[in-house]
Structure 1
Amino acid sequence: MKMWTLMAAAALTLSACGGADEKREPTAKAAPAGEQLVLASNLLADTKTVAGEITTRDQSQARARISGVLVVLSVREGDMVSRGQQIGRVVDDRIGFETRAYGAQVAAAEAEATRARADLGRIQDLYDHNVYAKARLDQAVAASRAADAQTAAARAERGASASMAGQGAILAPAAGRVLKVEVTAGSVVSPGMSVATITAGPPVLRLELPESLAGRVKPGARVLLTADDLPVEARQGQVTQVYPAIVGGRIQIDAAVPGLTTELVGRRVAASIEIGQRQALTVPRRFVTTRYGLDYVEVISPDRKPSAVPVQTAPTNDPETVEILSGVKAGDRLVATRTQG
């Protein structure tokens, strides 16, 4: 009897335990805390890294207008000049000799004109007293007029010679900075010879691209400077001109970047330029962490478990966004491991 009582009690206990297990519900897994993002393909500006040079839109040449010796040169590389400023002077001694010779001719012509006018006065008086005929008076008038014309011609030749000496002044053709001085004081120069190169126009970033990209770059496309040591206000500009000529399989493009000055003319820099758009996976930078030189993102699995996945990233034109090249795919759910600071 006692044995049956113990067996009944054990059966009731097992029945009660089984009922409790059947009523117990599975606990739901909590979602990871933090901002979440579902990866999707977006349009991203396609860029090309190219070499560029800081220059000016135009460069003018200060040239000698006469031959002679450059006796004065008052500028050096880096000096600022204004339009029409005299920066040098060329002297040709032959011009001085010619000017003095023309001056002597002027004096002789003036003396001849004075004599002709005196003769005309005497002949006019004799004609008035019926001593000379009208033909003699006409001859004297013609001689006086010819002497006056010779005097005017001699004066014109002397003035031309004197103005030629004034052509020895070398003037700056535009306002800007002197980039290069071609010759030194004391050198012999010829007409048309460049003495100095001067910037003209605003500073621009001149880029060279392969001719295969000629149709993909348009005015207004964004340009981003990648050098970190440039003292400029902004590192982003836009294309202002695409030159139509192709030289050596390359095209030239000018871009305006705020803060460029003529102090940096000739410097070579690296830049990236937009050449179109493409589909890419982009995420805010706060979703990516870097550990030991490797980039990771936290991916949430279907069972809500986060796992660190190594990815390969690339920068974009937006410093707060990166492109993911490999490691994850569109549709994956990410969680931010750090807050946006």
Structure 2
Amino acid sequence: MARRFHFLGLAAVAALALSGCGRSEPTASVAARAPTAGRLTVQTQMIADLKPAPGTLTTRDMAEARARIGGVLVSLTIREGDMVRRGQMIAQVRDDRLNLETGAYAAQVKAAAAEAERARADLARTQDLYEHGVYARARLEQAQAQAKTADAALAAARAQRGASAELAGQGAVAAPAAGRVLSADVPVGSVVMPGQTIARITAGPVVVRVELPEANAAALKLGAPVTLSGEAFAAATQGTISQIYPAVSGGQVIADVTAANLPQDKVGQRVQVRVRIGERKAIIIPRRYISTRFGVDYVRLVAADGTVSEAPVQTAEGPTADTAEILSGVRAGDVLTPAAVAR
């Protein structure tokens, strides 16, 4: 029994010795070294300081077709999106009271005409009797005055009838300008008031209207380049400032931007605008020096001894599509190697 325990002890010692002889020593990690070719020394440069601002697709002018008289809207011949020409009749407002007034004035015209005819007949008889020495001159002058009064009353009645008919005719609503109908939301049969808007119509070319804080007003220049983007554009579009309005409203300066091929059928849509307000220093590098993993951007820094390490950076859009601006993570003088170089 004792010999058995002695044998097991020797076997255990031998196993421990063998396991110790088979364990390998840990190796030290060797840092990758970047090749000399393709290295970039980070430097600052002056770029345009672009300020983002809200913009809206609109037209240079906006026309409103208004009702000139009150009454009931009996017809509306346009819809949103229709194109109209200047002077085109687009709606009709009717006031039955005006028709009744016109009829009453027409009756007064008939009465005044009958009275004027009687006065002219009396004047003719009086004139004949005066010439035969029957009536005195005073009677003739009285008849002449009555005839003139009757003629004036007839003219006044006709003028009142014409004014009433003209007022009733003002129920026709015409398009004040040629353009596209933006809104025509008053339903037929509605009671409208004088001056109420029946339809809104675009007038003039399509522009992008921009609002900027008044502190940036001095930086705005006519003809300055502007970058436009948004759902209304397939890609970023370049435009120019065509008009700067002199008035400041609510601390905002308003300017119009013109560009080629602006959408004609999306008036009112919001547009992202970047306006140049000056220059600033920035770090701009090609995008091939940036890699992205899990939504985080990295650059590869080259140390003085040639070793490479990765550093996270915060980026923004650069002046061109193949460049990026580094907001944080590197500084001027750092050396970068392209992200495509294997470690």
Give the TM-score of the pair, scaled to structure 1: 0.76
CA contact (8 A) 2:232 2:263 kept: no
Asked if structure 2 preserves the Cα contact closer than 8 Å seen for 1:299 and 1:335, the reply is: yes
Give the Cα separation in 2 of the matches to 1:234 and 1:175.
30
RMSD: 3.1
Alignment of 1:266-305 (within 5 A): 266-285=268-287, 287-290=288-291, 292=293
Secondary structure at 1:264 match in 2: coil
Render the CA deviation track for 1:89-109: whole Å, top value 9, x for unaligned.
111111111111111111111
**Contact 1:38/1:333 (<8 A) preserved:** yes
For residue 37 of structure 1, report the CA deviation from its aligned partner.
6.3
Comparing 174-183 and 318-327, the one that deviates more: 318-327
CA distance in 1, matches of 2:130, 2:235: 90
Show CA shifts across 1:118-156 (max 9, x none).
222222222222332222222222221111111111111
d(CA) in 2 for partners of 1:257 and 1:43?
Answer: 26
Distance 2:80 2:248 in 1: 31
Q: Choose which of 172, 191, 206 in structure 2 pairs with 1:203.
A: 206
Asked if 1:224 is matched to 2:218, the reply is no
Secondary structure of 2:227's counterpart equals strand
After TM superposition, the structure 1 = structure 2 runs for residues 178-327 of structure 1, keeping only pairs within 5 Å, are 178-227=181-230, 229-231=231-233, 235-285=237-287, 287-290=288-291, 292=293, 311-327=313-329
Asked if structure 1 preserves the Cα contact closer than 8 Å seen for 2:289 and 2:336, the reply is no
Q: What stretches of structure 2 of length at least 5 have no aligned partner?
A: 1-34
* CA offset digits 1:28-87 (Å, max 9, x no partner): xxx8556x7665432211122233222223322211111111000111111122222111
In the alignment, is the contact (CA less than 8 A) between 1:205 and 1:256 conserved in 2? yes
Partner AA of 1:240 in structure 2: S
Alignment of 1:1-341 (within 5 A): 32=36, 39-227=42-230, 229-231=231-233, 235-285=237-287, 287-290=288-291, 292=293, 311-331=313-333
CA distances 1:215-240 after superposition (whole Å, capped 9, x unpaired): 4444444322232x424686121233
Cα 1:315–1:233 change in 2 (3 A) is: closer
Name the % identity: 53
Question: Which amino acid letter does the alignment assign opposite residue 162 of structure 2?
Answer: G
Matched position secondary structure for 1:263 = coil
Scaled by the length of structure 2, what TM-score is found? Answer: 0.76
**1:234–1:258 contact (8 Å) kept in structure 2:** no
**Structure 1, gaps ≥5 residues long:** 1-30
Which whole-Å CA distance do the structure 2 matches of 1:60 and 1:326 have between them?
A: 50
CA distance 1:158–1:82, change in 2 (3 Å): same
What is the distance in 1 between the residues matched to 2:292 and 2:214?
41
CA distance in 2, matches of 1:145, 1:308: 111
Give 1:196 deviation, angstroms. Answer: 1.6
**Aligned equivalents of 1:232, 1:168: Cα separation in 2:** 45
Q: Which 10-residue stretch deviates more, 137-146 or 208-217?
A: 208-217
Distance 1:232 1:221 in 2: 22
Deviation at 1:306, TM superposition (A): 9.0
In structure 1, give the amino acid aligned to 2:179: G
How many residue pairs end up in the alignment?
Answer: 304
Distance in 1 between residues matched to 2:179 and 2:239, nearest whole Å: 22
Q: Is the partner of 2:265 in helix, strand or coil?
A: helix
